[in-house]
A and B are shown apart, each in its own frame.
Chain A
Amino acid sequence: MIKAFYQTVAAGLTVFGSLGAQSAKVDFTRDIQPILAKSCYGCHGPKLQMGGLRLDAKKLALAGGQSGKAIEPLKAANSTLYIRVAGIGDQARMPMGGKPLDPAQVKLLKAWIDEGAEWPEATGAEITEIKKHWAYIPPKRPALPAVANSRWISNPIDTFILARLEKEGIAPSPEADRTTLLRRVSLDLIGLPPSIEEVDAFLKDKSKNAYEKQVDRLLASPHYGERWGRHWLDAARYADSDGYEKDKMRQVWAYRDWVIKAFNRDLPFSQFVIDQIAGDLLPNATQDQLVATGFLRNSMINEEGGVDPEQFRMEAMFDRIDAIGKGVLGVTIQCAQCHNHKFDPLTQEEYYKIFAFLNNSHEADIAVYTPDEQMKRAEVFRRIREVEADVQHRNPDWQDRMTAWETKVKSGQAAWTVVKPEVDDISTGGQKYLPLKDGSFLAQGYAPTKHRVKMTVKTDVQNITAFQLELLNDPNLPLGGPGRSTKGTGALTEFEVESAPVDDPAKITKIKFARATADINLPETPLEPMFDDKSKKRRVTGPIEFAIDGKDETAWGIDAGPGLRNQPRKAVFTAAEPIANPKGTVLTFYLKQNHGGWNSDDNQNNNLGRIRLSITAAANAEADPLPKNVREILSIPADQRSPAQTATVFTYWRTTGPEWKDANATIAELWKQHPEGAAQLVLQAREESRETHILTRGDFLKPTKQVNAGVPAFLNPLPADAPPTRLTFARWLVARDAPTTARALVNRTWQTYFGTGLVSTVEDLGKQSETPSHPELLDWLAVEVMDRGWSMKALHRLIVTSATYKESSRMTPEMYTRDPYNRLLARGPRFRVDAEIVRDIALSASGLLNPKIGGPSVFPPAPEFLFLPPASYGPKVWNTAKNEDRFRRALYTFRYRSIPYPMLQVFDAPNGDISCVRRSRSNTPLQALTTLNEPLFLESARALAMRTLQEGGKTDAQRINYAVRRCMSRNPTEQETAELTRLLEKETKHFGDDGAKPWELATTDPTQPPVLPKGATPAQLAGWTAVSRVLLNLDETITKE
């Protein structure tokens, strides 16, 4: 409509224009160029070509920009240049944000175009191409610059740094002292300070490569993966909950552990990226490679009641592209979700071409096992095979007998007609029933813990005798379903059917069932605590009869235990009387699913996940006892089956033989030893691809043109004939000719060491980015990291062994004035460590640190009120660890997106809502309050005090020395020792006074004071606690110096 409108207006103007046209022709140089120069060149000229449009060069101006042609000679009405400056149509008037052209100027421009847009060759003809932005040209290894003071050089990094310093006439700082250096490199490589013993060993080591040995030790430490993994987890927006309203817990720690392991085994960065974007598509993908795709799944999920799941799938897609843009490409691409990128040459269409690569995946959830669990599984499977082999051995004729059995069970199956009912959406309790092509429904979105879905269908089938309910697997369900509980199981409280004649729909009859059968009938079992509904009733699951007994407390259960539970199931409900209505029947099904817990905002649903209903007129229909996969194999001629298929049939068949009761019981027992494993969100390719459309302003309800997978023209091309898969895209991201990927990687790494990247805008190397402080160094490092096979450890080693890295971070006012942000690197880096390391330093200094690596996230102390309304939406689980988990490294702290852990939040840890590659580094009073008073910091101070008294030496001077070294690695200065001694004496005296309560400060629970070292007093311990608290709060303690 709007388009039609402006065309009309434009047409009107054309008429008017031609009537009022002057006889004198518009002259470009005289009339037009001054207008363009004044109003347009700022953004569409030599410096900037926003939207890819440049108006000071004839060829380029006439070629147009990303939005197409700007000038259509003879047709001003079709020329965006005219349309936009005239303010016609729905787009913002040009010049954007500037003073509009006056009407006379607009008229001139229009007349010029209508007259043919003549542009003299002499004006701007020499410029024929838009100069490529530096970051979009693949890096080449630059020559090393010449330097005067070559003795200072340790490796090529220093050459580039020194060349610039010499140009500026500044000398580099001397090398930092050994202790400082070891603390610096320890914090950088493993995120923990060195122990006193490690410092002493380094100080004693007089060998030439003493420092290199330390670097090797640190790079080989398993804590290296924790430190650098955490860094990547920011980019991967890792969190342990869904985000948005309900912010339910999710299990994704396997991904976090994969990241840590990937760093520890120095997985090349290129492979690191490929695994995360498309690990599932690699041939014979390992569990690790599947887990890696959790990277893309770290997006938030909204299960607020009333949401359209597709809207939030789209938002997750945008989020994934944003994470790839920031974390891998170092290019801002999300702007193009709504419009062509204004600064970088990325069109909206190209954005959706990238989108198309990622659009064909299931949002899958799989079971994963730790290495120990994997061994246990292998053991269970081996022993089951042994028992089965034994059965076969004892029954040499088993194959003949099985064949005879097959013949028997092959026939007599009822023919089922799948019905595709309408779902009554008021009855769903807010859950979405997404219809699939095979007639099944997939449960999605909000998951009520109790609801009774109503489904209605008309059918012509006569003499309906029975109804079949199939529970099917689906990759989008927890652990593949078939249920929606966190284990992928569900429960059917009650199954009811009503019928009515089509020609008399009000004549409703409730169907009475003669019996119900199912392929799984478990013994009566009380519900697990996770499904507690606070009713205090005894609620159970059990055999299929429980679904037709009219009782709300009983349900048909399908949880067959670990390793066996995520299989398709079926039940058949036989009507007491066949249903016959000559004109057809209206059937209404009610599936009551009331066996969830009390809180629908938590993971407490026990719903069915994917269901399909069918009907039959066959007599004596009952649930096929054979599992779906066995039934499918039977349709394959026996001689064409694989050994595995034959084994699958055997495994079922042996369960039917009463003579193998003992063997069956042994195997059932073995299954109970199968580990539970953990869940992990992953991607799984869909067989059928989705269409991708450009979305107007990113709105999922406004799809326009369909696009195919592709990549932006300004970046490296795709290999010819590459299939349009995620794997192709992943490989493209890390191709040797990818211009930004390696630069972004080394830039981000540089930022971590020196506080600022060589380009300070690490998330954006595009046209709006800052000019690199050392462009040649950036390119050199980018080429170097690729030449070294994308080895991260090689990159780290290179940086930390440079003379630049080893410089002292001492400053002078002159230095500060000259280079306040240390971009020239005439001194070493000095800044407060990241949030997690602030905590880790306190735990490490106090000796409380539990160095365990990996596993489920943990719950250190946190204020209880945070997890209750009104601070949180609903009550959230936070079972504060009482054991060693309390003292795990901070990266293992459970991360709820909606309730960031206070200590980490206050020190600028991102909460994982979106990808973050550059943290703030603030310095606030709330941080002071945290390190002063937060429970774990206090516990650390107390533990450090106790340890100092126990192990710190015989004299107070020795002990002060010890405590200082635990916190800052170095020895105290004389002045510091004097201050600390004074403080110790004052505090000890104070706590020794009558009426003082030393235990209040010196222990967490004064009613259970710890055993003091021999000869020590509570006042002494309190005095040391005060000293420790000072030490843990010093700037230097939480600073990398």
Chain B
Amino acid sequence: MNPADERKLLLTRRHFFGSAGAGIGTAALASLLGQDAKASGGLTGFPNFAPKAKRVIYLFQHGAPSQLDLFDYKPNLQKVRGAELPESVRMGQRLTGMTAYQAKFPTAPSLFKFEQQGQSGAWLSELLPHTSKIADQICVIRSMQTEAINHDPAVTFFQTGFQIAGRPSIGAWISYGLGSESQDLPAFVVMVSQGSGNTQALADRQWGSGFLPTKYQAVKFRSGADPVLYLSNPSGYSDAARRHFLDDLAKLNDLKLKDYQDPEIATRISQYEMAYKMQSSVPELADVSKEPESTFEMYGPDSRKPGTYAANCILARRLAERGVRFIQLFHRGWDQHNNLPKEIRGQCRETDQPSAALIQDLKQRGMLDDTLVVWGGEFGRTVYSQGVLTEDNYGRDHHPRCFSLWMAGGGIKGGVTHGETDEFSYNIVKDPVEVYDLHATILHCLGVDHTKLTFKFQGRHFRLTDVHGKVVREVLA
């Protein structure tokens, strides 16, 4: 898009927040341009069809959780424990540099017990007692695959549909296409929490806007006094003083607007007004002190500690309630190359209960029907042990050829297990789902045809799914 179009977008779509508040600027702007300042943002013609979901909560499990120990039940592996992974399965596939030269590839069955859960009878690991309780609400996809084998490119691929940095993230695409429903919060919010397991890097660009205008990038929220950077006024400022200050500022800006008639000044006035609103709305959002005791009980003990995954899950629900379009949590620490049994227990302790609680909480509030929840990492892990396989210990290297994730809520059929892998959870034997397909499906749930959400850059119409992607109809409600 050229800057002219970009500006038009800014002027006509009241982007970033839905309908603008009634600041001086907005009024001036509306009168100057004769436009309806109440438009809710998003591209004309979007959504393309009636959406099932209005918003997305994406619980990114960063570092790549092991499908073999959580979702992809392989009872027969016990019989070949320690045996070399057959070459007929591996077929010379690329390995990461960490195990490419390993002399042996001993098969490592999961140490954890699996049981069938709910009416659907989905097989889930004992590591997920709480997720087990929502088995009938979630759809487990066991046949995800990716092209990337290292963390950063793989996360980039999940976030942007391309392994090399530079394209817009999924949340940026969605806020560009659909705008925001919130009056005083951004359309795309990201929160990051630290797990106890082995951690990998996570760069800011993973929720960037790529070649889309920068206003579509996520706003990162964190725990503490300033959930959004520079939200707090300098000390010595009372609330009333803050209001007066902004009024004075607006008056002076308005004098300039009258003189120069540049609509950009009007926009700036209204953005200061928005900033003012955020100074109330964000702390209000982050303040969970008024949540009933039952909330914390549901989300588990960690949920009282700001900055934890559990606490972020509560915030995710509060953001969803306030109309934020795309909420993305990253929980780090799933990179279990070594000491998998110990580390994965920790990771599950941190995430299982809050993730399940979020589903239940949304359900009890009647929001699960129009909130799409996605839980998953950037690739899977190998069936063979990285390092030495012992009685009670093993590690698993990166495995892009198959892995599991789950979806729930708006537009998704609960109680479904989709796709199948071979006996070694090494290759997919049925219904492979590519990252592009997942993206197409998420967009579909939001009422967006993934081939229509495009942006012209460098002479080409780009889209999240590039030239790929098919909606996974089997998982749709």
Contacts and interface: CB of A to CB of B under 8 A. Distances in A.
Nearest to A930: B230
Interface in A915-933: 918, 920-930, 932-933
Interface in A723-782: 755-756, 760-761, 763-764, 766-770
B287 interface: no
A810 B261 CA distance: 7
Contacts of A932: 230, 233, 275
Contacts of A830: 260, 262, 264
A198 B267 CA distance: 32
B459 A766 contact: yes
Interface stretch (B245-253, B341-349, B412-420): B245-253
A364 interface: no
Q: Report which residue of B219, B236, B307 has the largest number of chain A beta carbons within 10 angstroms of its beta carbon.
A: B236
Given A247-B201, A870-B193, A929-B229, A812 B8 contact: no
Given A244-B201, A930-B230, A811 B98 contact: no
Interface stretch (B133-141, B202-210, B315-323, B365-373): B202-210
B106 to A, nearest CB: 13
A906 B218 CA distance: 11
B87 interface: no
A245 B151 contact: yes
A371 interface: no
B234 A933 contact: yes
A343 B4 CA distance: 23
Contacts of A986: 244
Interface in B1-57: 2-4, 6-8, 10-11, 16-17, 32
B248 A983 contact: yes
B165 A913 contact: yes
Interface string A789-829: 00000000000000000000111110010001101000000
Contacts of B120: none
A318 interface: yes
Nearest to B226: A863
B200 A245 contact: yes
Contacts of A432: 97
Interface stretch (A185-193, A354-362, A1027-1035): A1027-1035
B102 interface: yes
A873 B202 contact: yes
A432 B330 CA distance: 30
A544 interface: no
A831 B263 CA distance: 11
Nearest to A770: B2
Contacts of B261: 810-813, 816
A1000 interface: yes
Given A811-B262, A869-B199, A905-B204, A925 B459 contact: no
B91 interface: no
Interface stretch (A841-849, A893-901, A945-953): A893-901
Nearest to B97: A306
Max count, chain A CB within 10 A of own CB: residue among B203, B264, B269, B456 = B203
Given A764-B458, A811-B262, A926-B219, A755 B3 contact: yes
A631 interface: no
Contact of B10 (A335, A923, A934): A923
Contacts of A430: 97-98
Given A922-B10, A928-B272, A871 B200 contact: no
A911 interface: yes
Interface string B273-307: 01101110000000000000000000000000001
Contacts of A874: 201
B275 A998 contact: no
Contacts of B277: 925
A246 interface: yes
B152 A302 contact: yes
B201 A306 contact: no
Interface in A292-351: 300, 302, 304-308, 315, 318-319, 332, 335, 342-344
B2 A756 contact: yes
Nearest to A432: B97
A873 B219 CA distance: 19
B248 to A, nearest CB: 5
Given A425-B100, A863-B229, A933-B233, A306 B150 contact: yes
Interface in A608-646: none
Sorting the interface of chain B by its residue count into under 10, 10 to 19, 20 to 34 or 35 or more gives 35 or more
Nearest to A923: B267
A820 B10 CA distance: 13
A318 to B, nearest CB: 7
Contacts of B251: 979
Interface string B434-477: 00000000000000000100001011100000010000000000
B230 A933 contact: yes
* Among B97, B231, B253, residue most surrounded by chain A Cβ atoms (within 10 Å): B97
A247 B103 CA distance: 31
B278 A920 contact: no
A1022 B236 CA distance: 10
Range class of the A interface residue count: 35 or more
Contacts of A426: 101-103, 387
B79 interface: no
A934 B213 contact: no
B152 A929 contact: no
Nearest to A1031: B252
Contact of A913 (B205, B255, B332): B205
Contacts of A701: 94
A761 B5 CA distance: 11
A869 B459 CA distance: 39
A756 to B, nearest CB: 5
B359 interface: no
Contacts of B252: 976, 979-980, 1030, 1034
Contacts of B249: 1030, 1033-1034
A458 interface: no
A996 B235 CA distance: 11
B315 to A, nearest CB: 15
B387 to A, nearest CB: 8
Contacts of A769: 459
A353 to B, nearest CB: 21
B96 interface: yes
Contact of A898 (B201, B214, B234, B459): B201
B4 A820 contact: yes
Contacts of B102: 425-426
A898 B193 contact: no
Contacts of A445: 97
Contacts of B332: 869-870
A1041 B204 CA distance: 33
Contacts of A319: 164
Given A925-B278, A1035-B268, A920 B215 contact: yes
Contacts of A442: none
A862 to B, nearest CB: 10
Contacts of B339: none
Given A928-B272, A1001-B234, A1022-B236, A306 B256 contact: no
B393 interface: no
A138 to B, nearest CB: 21
A1035 B3 contact: no
A247 B203 contact: yes
A94 to B, nearest CB: 13
Interface string A952-979: 0000000000000000000001011001
B222 interface: yes
16 contacts: A300-B165, A306-B98, A332-B459, A430-B97, A898-B204, A899-B204, A911-B208, A924-B16, A925-B271, A928-B272, A929-B229, A932-B230, A932-B233, A975-B255, A979-B251, A1001-B236
Given A97-B451, A1035-B253, 5 more contacts: A767-B459, A863-B226, A913-B165, A925-B17, A1030-B245
9 closest Cβ pairs, A-B complex: A768-B459, A1000-B236, A425-B101, A873-B201, A821-B4, A760-B2, A306-B96, A898-B203, A245-B201
